[in-house]
A and B are shown apart, each in its own frame.
Chain A
Amino acid sequence: MALTPVLAPFDIQVDSSEIAVRDALAQVLIGLGPLDLDIEEAGTVELVLAEALNNIVEHAYGPDDHTGTIKIGCYHQSNGIHLRIEDDGVMMPEGKLPLGRPQDLEGDMMDLPEGGFGWFLIQDLAKDVCYERVGDSNRLDLRLAIALGDAD
């Protein structure tokens, strides 16, 4: 007999803006409430999702387009939390996932990078990161190995 999942899958949708990203993060964390994540785990979810959403706001739609929508789907399995993030903005460069290499911090302090950490953080913290251009939409799937083993 299958156990009842702890968390029912849920979807949220927000407009593309920096402030709406905050709203989306808050909604997802509330949605994950039944999993009873600790501060560390909730921080990982919030950070990965924030980087993915900020990237959409800044690059897929661009800073001036607040008419775009971002959809986030979330479900929980025994191997973690699965997120699907979709937007109708421009394609990733070359239709591929950025490499997300760590930044070079050697050399003069004045040359330290002030950006470009986002994809590194996503690739470092998330598993099975997969990007696909589907028609006129971008679809990013990823898994966070958090809240393991107590679903299905």
Chain B
Amino acid sequence: MELTSEKEPKMLIVTVQEARIDAASALQFKDEIRRVTEGGVDPVLLDLHHVEFIDSSGLGAIVAAMKHLAPERQLVLAGFTPTVEKVFKLTRMDTVFSIFSRVEDGIAALQRKEA
């Protein structure tokens, strides 16, 4: 499970460089996101545009990541592909997260936010 991170003004962008967050990779995802976000203070934008498939284990891992960063740091999700969007909608998790279909829109929203 490869995650890359990029420091931007007012946010840390974490990009999932894999096509799946599933039962086989959920644990690694949780470990990696803790590692790349360690020590920071800014909100985290999770760029999921490479992720074509997520199952309920992957969804649970993203929820765990949000809880890990809360309450100080917000986790914003961006770059939803159709199957990822479907899982969030069906489970109504789309009502819990800040979600932007396009990564640029998520970045713009975080930049507009007062620190």
Query: With A and B bound together, what is the CA distance between A18 and B60 in angstroms?
Result: 16
Is the C-beta of B64 less than 8 angstroms from some C-beta in chain A? yes
Taking a contact as CB atoms under 8 Å apart, the answer to whether A115 and B91 are in contact is: no
On whether the beta carbons of B53 and A118 are closer than 8 Å, the reply is: no
CB contacts (< 8 Å) of A51 on chain B: these are 55-56
Report whether over half of chain A's contact residues are helix, strand or loop; otherwise say mixed.
helix
**Cβ contact within 8 Å between A43 and B83:** yes
Judged by a CB distance under 8 angstroms, whether B67 is at the interface is: yes
Q: Does B93 contact A (CB under 8 A)?
A: yes
A40 to B83 alpha-carbon distance, docked (Å): 7
Q: Are B91 and A120 in contact (CB under 8 A)?
A: yes
Total interface residues on A, CB under 8 Å, equals 31
Residues in B lying within 8 Å of A, measured CB to CB: 20, 22-24, 53, 55-57, 59-61, 63-64, 66-67, 70-71, 82-83, 86-87, 90-93, 95-96
Q: Could you tell me which A residues sit within 8 Å of B by CB distance?
A: 18-19, 21-22, 39-40, 43-44, 46-47, 50-51, 54, 57-58, 102-103, 105, 109-110, 112-118, 120-121, 124-125
